[in-house]
Amino acid sequence: MNLLDGVKNATEFLPKYWPLTMFVHHNPLHEFEDMHFKDALKRASKIFNTDLYMDPSYYVNLYKSGIIRKDILEKNISQFLDSNGFDVSKYKVRKFMVDLSPNWLSLKYDYNLNSNLDIYQTLRETIISDKMYNNLDLLFEELINNYSFSKLLDIIFDQNIYQLFYNEVVEFVSRFLDEGQANITLPFREKGMWDCFLLFEGKSFDVEDILKTFQREISPRDIENYVRRLLVDFFGWASFVKYREKTPYYPYQEENPADLLSFVSIILYFELKYIRKLNRTNIRSYDDLYEYFKNNKEEVILKLLFYRRELSPEYISKILKKNPDYKSLFKEYTEDDTNREIARIAYVNDRLFKIEDPLEAYRLIKLIKEEEGYIWTKSIEESYAVVYGNEFLREYKLTENPKAAAVFCVDVRSEALRRNLERIDNYKTYGVAGFFGIKVALIEFDKSHELLLCPAMETPERVILELPSQNTSEYEKKKDILYTLKKTLEKLKNNPYTPFFTVEAFGWLFGYNLFGKTLFPKYLSKFNQKIKAKPPKTLYSLDKLSEDDVQRYTEKFFVEKIIHSFELESDHISYEEAKDVLNRILNGNLNEKEKRILDKHRINRDYYGYIKYRFSNMGYTLEEQAKLADNFLNLIGMIDSFPSFIFLVGHGSESDNNPYESALDCGACGGNSGYHNVRAMSIILNNTEVRKLMSIKIPEDTIFIPALHNTTTDEVEFFDEEVIPDTKRELFEEIKRDFKIASVRTRQERVKVLPYADNEEDVLVRSIDWSEMRPEWGLSSNIGVFVGKRESCMNSVLKNRFFLHSYDYTLDPDNTVLKRILNGPFLIAQWINAEHYFSTVSNEIFGSGSKVYHNVVGRFGVFNSNYSDLKIGLPYQTVYFEDKAFHEPARIVVFVEAPLQKAVAAASETDHPMMLLKNEWVRLVIIDREKNKLFLLDNGNFNEL
């Protein structure tokens, strides 16, 4: 394998990290999903050098509070014992896991072995061998595997190379990837990451040269492993570069292309540079390091253990003394460590297990310690499976002819509002993925970039435009004034010559926000709403463009782009001349000057083709709209008994001073609010021409009304009310009042779990409080997905912990609908759940740490201070409260209400969902109503619950 292949392989474990502006919950171990969950965590734990389960004491608390059921825990312990061939009572193992394991290290390490001394001494060799104390070469290999060469030089020889090299990489990459935050941008970014880097450093070589030089000079034993190790240190940055590389039409990637190979080479270049510059020792390569290790084994191992925080203060103190005798110190340490382990095992075996062979006892305890996290996690999931499964098995009948129906997003936060609404009057609610069956790229009125309103793993089918349906001059005038004022202040603030003068003259203007937001947030928010330009009413260009239109728009777009690019080069050309240039682009006979200018702005035939393709993808034909509408209604099982009003309720959130705001929006809409999706789908469903072509017959007097659920305040706002005839106004007003009552009740419910909230008012204020760490709990505490009829779960209080998707298997003879649910909402829920799981168990690596230290970088992410890894997961405050995990880390439990055979048939016809089920990244529970039984998929078998 050549060097480039090795580097490419090393990058495969990286997930993609979407920019913060469209935060997408994703599984940071996405690339490990082809392995079984347990094995994947074992491997990832080694690569990332972190624990991927909670501390045992956490699970014990859940057990003691009754969340983890005793019978389930014992069943899983039995499974563990059977699969490992132990003949030990499950009760004893349970006792060990509950009472002894959480305090394992402090457990009777001074236990007096008395008469059993000889018996337990037989353990010594095994423990020493397991801990590799008898094979220091192997131990050394194991320990250094987690560090880059520069870091090893720092650890062993007390230098400071790594941090400086790290900072330099962050400096370059953050400036290169910047998306408009920097006042002075890095020049030559349009040349691409590698060429820009060469100009930045004033060098000239290619990517492979760096790899070869690094290989020759530092001589890592396995470059692939080495690069993987380095990428763990730059996990966030590398994941974002991967996203950019894999999303070629991301606007900033189009402008300033970045790629992983260049990024890896840049890291290696800087590491080499700083080692050459700052290394004060004679250790120049791994060969030298191994040579040094040969003569100083104990010293090197002790220093590495010290760095890994594996030494107790007693030994740290001894190491830090002048000229310590490392050999005797190491001997003392290993003896001490081994004796303590023997004492603990002897104590547990003598008191609890009473196994004759101490080696067997040791093997058992070691295995329990290795697997207890998995056993506990499995027990949480299965406890919920039993509790909720039995609740869902009970069916309730709904009365016919509901007052109105409301279709909500599948999102967990809709659950309480739906339940409260249903309890006010005869409402029927449905759950569906928040893009409401319409996966589009939308160009908002007054914006120029596309919003991808569909799940992040999918590509939008079509493009639509939001167009004003009212006069916009008033709006534009007001907006221009505010924009100019804002930009002027920003420029005065950021210009190197003017900040002092600005502070003196206009400093008080900034006090408006400072004092207003701090002391009178409510009034300020109201006032700001008043002075803000009110956008005009809008419509969508849902109809498909004709071929002539496509040709005309593409030409117009391109000609303007050509004029603009010439203007940037201080060259003005007329519309007609630009048209000629376009013809020459298409015929391939540009002159040198034109070629230079157009190449610089990436205007070429390929781009023309792409734009034309995008225009031809604009909107839907009437038949396509009818199909979309049919599919949507079929998906949720709404095929008859239509009430007068059907509300399509998307959701969005509202918070202030929160870089993670889009994480609280709709995941199914690519981290955006569901506002556009519900409006577009309502327009389609209200279109009488579309209704005529639909296979599902919607009564003429049925009206679809779009609405938006604000998940921070739980208020619901309705749109496009003008479609309601006067005859139905009264009913509509009554329904609106019911929604209001449901909102109040939902808020009252949420007060109980929101920190520092005593009443409803406190919930409302959170959306405008700029010091609020948790405007809402968002998707934290999610635990399950329910796919089935609302009747089965409407009487369960699910506390905003379940994704609820409507599905009626009797209306899905060929499993098409179920397969669509598995390929869509199921995957979204798994990504969200996995993001929460890993942000909870290892917040430092897969989460983003405390919000208190976050700085926004480049407008695409956050990092700590000025130089750290890009933080890709959820903040500590999102999943923890007062140092206790708020989110219960467990795999998502998916309840599917369908006959067993049917569900299996549907799942086996999918790719990714089937892999997730097979490898147990999700736990599947089948509610087989025909047999009136629950089945849990466990180790490849469906076991009756």
Partner 1 sequence: MDIYVSLLGITLVVFSIFSLYKSYSFIRVLVLYVLANSPVFFIINEKMYYGLSFFTTVGLYLVIVEFIKKTYKTDVFLGIEGLVLSSPKLSIFVRIVLLMMANFPPFLNFSVVFNYLLNIGLSINTIYILTLLLFNFMIFSKMTNKILFGKPNKNLIYKEPDMKYIILMSFLSLTNLILGILYLLSL
Q: Is 838 in contact with 28 (CB distance < 8 Å)?
A: yes
- Residue from 552, 525, 523 nearest 618 by CA: 552
Q: What is the DSSP string of 611-672?
A: HHHHHHTBSB-HHHHHHHHHHHHHHHT--S---SEEEEEEEE---SS-TTGGGGSBGGGTSB
Does 160 bind partner 1 (CB under 8 A)? Our answer is no
> Which residues, at least 6 apart from 834, have a Cβ–Cβ distance to it below 8 Å?
26, 27, 28, 29, 30, 921
Does 310 bind partner 1 (CB under 8 A)? Our answer is yes
Does 309 bind partner 1 (CB under 8 A)? Our answer is yes
Give the CA angle between residues 409, 726, 647 to the nearest 5°.
5
Q: What is the distance in angstroms between the CA of the first residue and the CA of the last residue of the chain? A: 50
Among 121, 129, 181, 317, binds partner 1 (CB under 8 A): 317
Q: What is the 3-state secondary structure (H, E, C) of 62-118?
A: HHHCCCCCHHHHHHHHHHHHHHHCCCCCHHHHHHHHHHHHHHCCCCCCCCCCHHHHH
Q: Which is nearer to partner 1, 316 or 398 (CB)?
A: 316
Q: Which is nearer to partner 1, 341 or 720 (CB)?
A: 341
H/E segment holding residue 706:
strand 703-710
Does 320 bind partner 1 (CB under 8 A)? Our answer is yes
Q: Which two tokens stand for residue 323?
A: 């000229």
Q: Of 68-76, 279-287, 303-311, 674-682, which part binds partner 1 (CB under 8 A)?
A: 303-311
Q: Of 316-324, 443-451, 473-481, 653-661, which part binds partner 1 (CB under 8 A)?
A: 316-324
Q: How far apart are CA 809 and CA 788, in angstroms?
A: 8
Pairing type for strands 462-468 and 440-443 reads parallel
CA dihedral over 473, 479, 485, 488, signed as positive or negative? negative
Give me the 735-754 binding string for partner 1, x by CB under 8 A, dash otherwise: --------------------
Q: Of 248-256, 261-269, 315-323, 588-596, which part binds partner 1 (CB under 8 A)?
A: 315-323
Pairing type for strands 892-897 and 784-788 reads parallel
Q: Which is nearer to partner 1, 306 or 770 (CB)?
A: 306
Q: Which is nearer to partner 1, 247 or 339 (CB)?
A: 339
Q: Of 78-86, 305-313, 607-615, 748-756, which part binds partner 1 (CB under 8 A)?
A: 305-313
- Closest approach, Cβ 408 to partner 1, in A, equals 41
Q: Could you give the C-alpha distances from 848 to 200, 780, 875, in angstroms and in order?
A: 30, 15, 5
Q: What is the DSSP string of 910-935?
A: -SHHHHHHHTTSEEEEEEETTTTEEE
Among 117, 138, 182, 316, binds partner 1 (CB under 8 A): 316
- Closest approach, Cβ 320 to partner 1, in A, equals 5
- Closest approach, Cβ 459 to partner 1, in A, equals 42
- Closest approach, Cβ 103 to partner 1, in A, equals 9
The position carrying tokens 């490849």 is 940
Give me the 848-887 binding string for partner 1, x by CB under 8 A, dash otherwise: -----------------------------------x----
Among 1, 66, 85, 106, binds partner 1 (CB under 8 A): 106
Does 390 bind partner 1 (CB under 8 A)? Our answer is no
- Judged by CB under 8 A, the number of residues near partner 1 is 12
> Which residues, at least 6 apart from 91, have a Cβ–Cβ distance to it below 8 Å?
74
DSSP state of 332: H
Q: Please, where are the H alpha helices in 235-357? A: 235-246, 251-255, 260-278, 286-295, 297-307, 313-319, 326-348
Count CB atoms within 10 A of the CB of residue 42.
15
- Closest approach, Cβ 50 to partner 1, in A, equals 12
- Closest approach, Cβ 27 to partner 1, in A, equals 25
- Closest approach, Cβ 781 to partner 1, in A, equals 23
Q: Which is nearer to partner 1, 162 or 803 (CB)?
A: 162
For residue 568, the SS3 value is helix
Q: Which is nearer to partner 1, 312 or 459 (CB)?
A: 312
Q: How far apart are CA 631 and CA 619, in angstroms?
A: 17
Does 302 bind partner 1 (CB under 8 A)? Our answer is no
- Closest approach, Cβ 133 to partner 1, in A, equals 16
Q: Which is nearer to partner 1, 576 or 883 (CB)?
A: 883
Q: Of 16-24, 72-80, 267-275, 312-320, which part binds partner 1 (CB under 8 A)?
A: 312-320
Distance from chain centroid for Cα 137: 39
Does 312 bind partner 1 (CB under 8 A)? Our answer is yes
Strand-pairing partners, residue 862, are 856, 871
Q: Please, which of residues 46-105 interact with partner 1 by CB under 8 A? A: 105
- Dihedrals phi, psi of 542, to nearest 5 degrees: -80, -20
Q: Could you give the C-alpha distances from 765 to 160, 526, 643, in angstroms and in order?
A: 47, 12, 36
- Closest approach, Cβ 355 to partner 1, in A, equals 26
Q: Which is nearer to partner 1, 56 or 659 (CB)?
A: 56
Pairing type for strands 880-881 and 892-897 reads unpaired
Q: Of 145-153, 311-319, 359-367, 484-492, which part binds partner 1 (CB under 8 A)?
A: 311-319
Q: Of 313-321, 380-388, 526-534, 783-791, which part binds partner 1 (CB under 8 A)?
A: 313-321
Q: Which is nearer to partner 1, 333 or 376 (CB)?
A: 333
Q: Which is nearer to partner 1, 592 or 883 (CB)?
A: 883
Q: Which is nearer to partner 1, 109 or 374 (CB)?
A: 109
Among 66, 180, 313, 588, binds partner 1 (CB under 8 A): 313
DSSP state of 285: S
**Residue numbers of the site for partner 1 (CB under 8 A)?**
105-106, 309-314, 316-317, 320, 883
